[in-house]
Structure 1
Amino acid sequence: MYRKYLSGRTVALILFVLNGISILFGITLISLGIVYIVDHGNMFEVVGSSLYTSGVYMLIFLGLVITIIALCGYIAADRENICLIVSYIFILGLLALLLFISGIMILSFRSSLGDSSKNLMIDSLRSHYGRHGIITDAWNLVQRNLRCCGVDDSGWSIYNGSWWDMIVNSDLYETNTKLSESSLFYLFVPESCCAKKLDGLTGWPTDIYRDKKRCQTWQYGPPNKRNGPHNDAIYYAVIYLSNNRMT
C-alpha cells in the first residue's frame, strides 16, 4: 500500500516538473513572438507580410497551445485521475512528434524558404518602395538601422528601373521620360542607402551624412557602376545577409 502511494506521488511529481518546463517553454515562445512583432515590426513590410506574420503568429499560437496543455496536465496530476493523466501524456507525445516533424521540414526547405523571402523583398522594393508610404518607411528604417542598401550583392543596382527610380528621376520637361543616368541630377539610390558619420563615443550613426551627393549621384563607381573606386559615402552591405545575421 505504501509503495503504491509512493509510486503515485513520484508520477505526480514528475508530471509537475514536466508541466513546469512545458509552461516555461510555452511562455518563451509567446514572448519571442511578441518581441519580434514589437522590435522587428518593420520587417513585416520588407520581407512580405504573409510570410513573416504567419511564422510569428504560428510561434505565438504554438506557445499558447503548449501552455494550455501544461495547465491541463497540472489539473490531471492534482486530481490523480488516471484517465486524464494518460490523455495528457498522449497529447504531449503527439505535440512533441509534431514539433519534431516540423523541425525536419523547416531544415529540409530552409533554402527554398530563404529564396521565397528574398524574392518577396525584391518585389517589395522594386514595385512598392516610393509608392506606398508604409512600405517606403519600413525599407528606410531597416536600411538605416542595418546600414545596408538593397537586397543582394551590389544592392544599389536594384533601384534601377524600380517604381522609385521612375518617379524620382522623371524628366520634368518630357512626359513619361526618365533622366539619363549620365545627368548630374540623376539619383541612383535613396537617402537611406547613404552612410552617416559615426559618433566617436558610442559608435552609432549620427544624423549627418558623410557625403549625400557622392552617395546618390557619383558616376565613377558605386552606385552607378558595379565595380570601381570605393565609395565610402554609400552602404555596401546587403539587406538579405544583414537580416540573416540579425535573426
Structure 2
Amino acid sequence: MCIYFLQVAGIAIFAVGVWTAADKVYISDVVDNNSFEAAAYLIIIAGIIVIGVCILGFISLAKEKKILVIVYFAIWILIFLFLMVGGILAVVFRAELESGMKDAMKKTLTELYGHTSTAGQRDTTTAWNRMQHDLRCCAVDNDDWGTYKFTQWYLSQDDRLREKPFVPASCCVYDERSGAINDQDKCQYWQLGPPGNPFTQFKNTALYYQGCYEAAKNFIMDSSEAIVAVGFAFGLTLIFGMVFTVLFLRHIGNIDDEEIRRRQRSKTPNDGL
C-alpha cells in the first residue's frame, strides 16, 4: 500500500515540476538567478526517479527477490538524501532572494530590457513582459513607472513621434475573460496622471500600480512553500516506505530460512540410509 502512495507522490512531484518549468521558469531571467529554473528541473528529475523506483518496487514485491528489494531500499536512501539536499538548496535560494532580488531586477530591467542584440537580452525582455502580464505588476517598485525612461525600450523609440509610450503594454490592466487591454492609450500615454505624471492625485485605472518585486517575491515564496510542503509529505511517506522495505526484507529472510530448514529436513532421512 505504501508503494501506491509513493507512486502517487512521484506523479504529483513530476506534475509540479513540469508546471513550474513550463509556466513560471521565465522568472529566472528577470531575477538573474538560475536557482528557480534548476529547482524546477530538479523536481522533474526527482518525480521521474520516484516513478521508476516504484515500478522496481512492484517488481520486487511480485518476485520476492532479496537482491531487488535491497537495491530498491538503497535507491530510496539516495532519494531521501537527494530530498535533503533539495531542501537545503531551497533555503539557500530563499536567502539569496531576500538579499539580492530587487537589485537584480533593477539591473535586468534597465540594462537588458528592450535590447535585441543577443538571445539573452530578448529572453529577458520577453520574461519581463510575461511577468508583468501574469502577475499584474509594473516595473520593480510600486509606482515605479519612471524607471522605463532609462531602458533601451524607451530610448530606442523614434524621437519624431509626438508622444512616446511611458510604459510597455504589459503594464496595462487587461480583461481576464477576453484577454484584451482595457484602455491601452490611457495606460501608456496619459499625462494628467500616471504614468506621464506620477506626482498628481489622479488615478489611472488602466495601469498597474504594484511593483513586480513584491509580486514576484510573493509568488516565489508561495511556490517554494508549496514545494516544501509536498516535499515534507513525500519525505514522511518515504520514511514509511523504507520501514516497510526493511520489514519486507525480514519477511523474505524468514522465508529463505524456512526454505533452508525444509531442505535440510528433507535431506536428513537420506543421510541416515
TM-score (norm 2): 0.63
Q: State how 1:153-192 maps to structure 2 within 5 Å.
A: 153-168=142-157, 171-172=159-160, 185-192=163-170
Structure 2 equivalent of residue 12 of structure 1: none
Structure number, greater radius of gyration: 2
Alpha-carbon distance change, 109 to 148 in structure 1, aligned in 2, over 3 angstroms: closer
**Contact in 2 for aligned 1:126/1:163 (Cα 8 Å):** yes
Q: Which residue identity is paired with 2:159?
A: D
For residues 124-163 of structure 1, the aligned pairs below 5 Å read 124-132=108-116, 135-163=124-152
1:216 corresponds to 2:184: no
Q: Deviations over 1:125-171 (max 9, x none)?
A: 32333233554444334323432211333332331211112112x53
State the shift of 1:219 in Å.
4.4
Q: Which amino acid aligns with 1:239?
A: C
1:93 and 1:35 map into 2 onto residues whose CA distance is 27
Alignment match of 1:228 (pick from 190, 200, 203): 200
Give deviations 1:78-99, integer Å, cap 9, x for gaps.
2222233233223313322331
Matches within 5 A, 1:29-44: 29-40=13-24, 43=27
Map of 2:249 onto structure 1? none
1:190 and 1:144 map into 2 onto residues whose CA distance is: 10
Letter in 2 for 1:21: F
Alpha-carbon distance in structure 1 between the residues aligned to 2:51 and 2:179:
44
Question: CA 1:66/1:113 → structure 2, altered by over 3 Å: closer, same or farther?
Answer: farther
Hey, what's the Cα distance between the residues in 2 that align with 1:113 and 1:72?
38
The one-letter code of the counterpart of 1:209 is N
- Provide the alpha-carbon RMSD of the alignment: 3.2
Distance of 1:49 and 1:76 partners within structure 2: 42
In 2: Cα distance, 1:37 partner to 1:152 partner: 26
- Secondary structure of 2:180 counterpart: strand
Amino acid at match of 2:37: T
- 2:187/2:207 contact within 8 Å kept: yes
- The structure where helix makes up a greater share of residues is 2
1:103 aligns with 2:87: yes
Deviations 1:85-125 (A, max 9, x none): 23322331332233134324423541313555555544333
Q: Percent identity?
A: 30
Report the count of equivalent residues.
214
1:126 and 1:164 in contact (8 A); partners too: no
Contact 2:172–2:181, Cα closer than 8 Å, also in 1: no
Alignment-derived partner of residue 4 in structure 1: none
Question: Which shifted more, 223-232 or 78-87?
Answer: 223-232
One-letter amino acid of the structure 2 residue matched with residue 153 of structure 1: N
- Letter aligned with residue 233 of structure 1: A
Choose from 76, 80, 99 the match for 1:92. Answer: 76
Counterpart Cα distance in 2 of 1:63 and 1:129: 35
Q: Distance in 1 between matches of 2:181 and 2:8?
A: 45
SS at match of 1:209: coil
Query: Match of 1:10?
Result: none
TM-score, length of structure 1 as denominator length: 0.69
**Residue of structure 2 equivalent to 1:26:** 10
Q: Which has the higher contact order (CA 8 A, sep 6+)?
A: 2
AA aligned to 1:112 is: E
Q: 1:129 touches 1:136 (CA, 8 Å); kept in 2? A: yes
